[in-house]
Amino acid sequence: MSRPARPRVRVFPDAEAVARYAADAIAGRIGDARRDGRALHIALAGGTTPQRAYELLADIEGSWKHVHLWLGDERCVPEDDPESNARMVRESLYANARADPPLLHAVPSPEIPEDAAWLYGLQVHDCVPDLVFDIVLLGMGPDGHTASLFPGHPVLQARETPVAPVRGSPKPPPERVTLTLPVLRRARFTLLLATGAEKRAALARALAGDESIPLALLGEGLDEVACDLAAAPHGS
């Protein structure tokens, strides 16, 4: 089935409603995969609104045994560091899960970005069929970065690897690893969450196709945008 030329934009009254929509959308796909007897690979985002979505998602009923969770990006810090996305997922989703939680593929050796990216890339190659994630959840910064793909950064040019190291991130911490654009583009369903007035200008530029905004480089690989009224571009 072909993708639409531009993503569907859904506007909600506030960040809580955005998080609820994301949780419901993911839960529905988890249930479909459970009924079909197939594994489901989900790449998760960091950030406040995604974190709230994971807290709500933890209330899902039924088995998670078929679900594999991955990190769309990770900060190169120890796993118990407050900046760690793996820690955030464990504290939001795992700590509140009603059933045995899904398998989380955390980034190994995250302190060294090149080593971490290589090792995580091997895991993605080995576990994700054809490097196609079933769901990719993304956030966005006020500069339009998504995952750890920042405006003008050389990592935007990565083509041959599913996971790339990032040094010199303009947002601390400066060392990270991230899924690359080709992998994000080929996911079966990609959902962006954007909340807050500081995101409005970048989101509008991305939806208008301004390729200086990393989010716009996803092109037809972005299926849906869920945003609150504050972040919604005029006319959405």
| 3 state SS for 107-163 | CCCCCCHHHHHHHHHHHHHHHCHHHCCCEEEECCCCCCCECCECCCCHHHHCCCCCE
Determine the Cα–Cα distance for residues 68 and 134; give it in Å rounded to an integer: 10
Q: What is the pLDDT of residue 109?
A: 79
Tens-level pLDDT at each residue, the chain (236 residues):
444 457 999 999 999 999 999 999 999 999 999 999 999 999 999 999 999 999 999 988 778 899 999 999 999 998 889 999 999 999 999 888 887 878 999 998 778 899 999 999 999 999 999 999 999 999 999 999 999 999 999 999 999 999 999 999 999 999 999 999 999 999 999 999 999 999 999 999 999 999 999 999 999 999 999 999 999 997 56
List the 163-166 sheet strands across, edge first: 73-75, 176-179, 163-166
Q: Which helix (H) or strand (E) holds 86?
A: helix 85-92
* Cβ pair 195, 189 in contact under 8 A: no
Q: What is the pLDDT of residue 2?
A: 44
Domains, the chain, in order of start with CATH, read 26-214 (3.40.50.1360)
Q: What is the pLDDT of residue 205?
A: 96
Structure tokens at 20: 């609820």
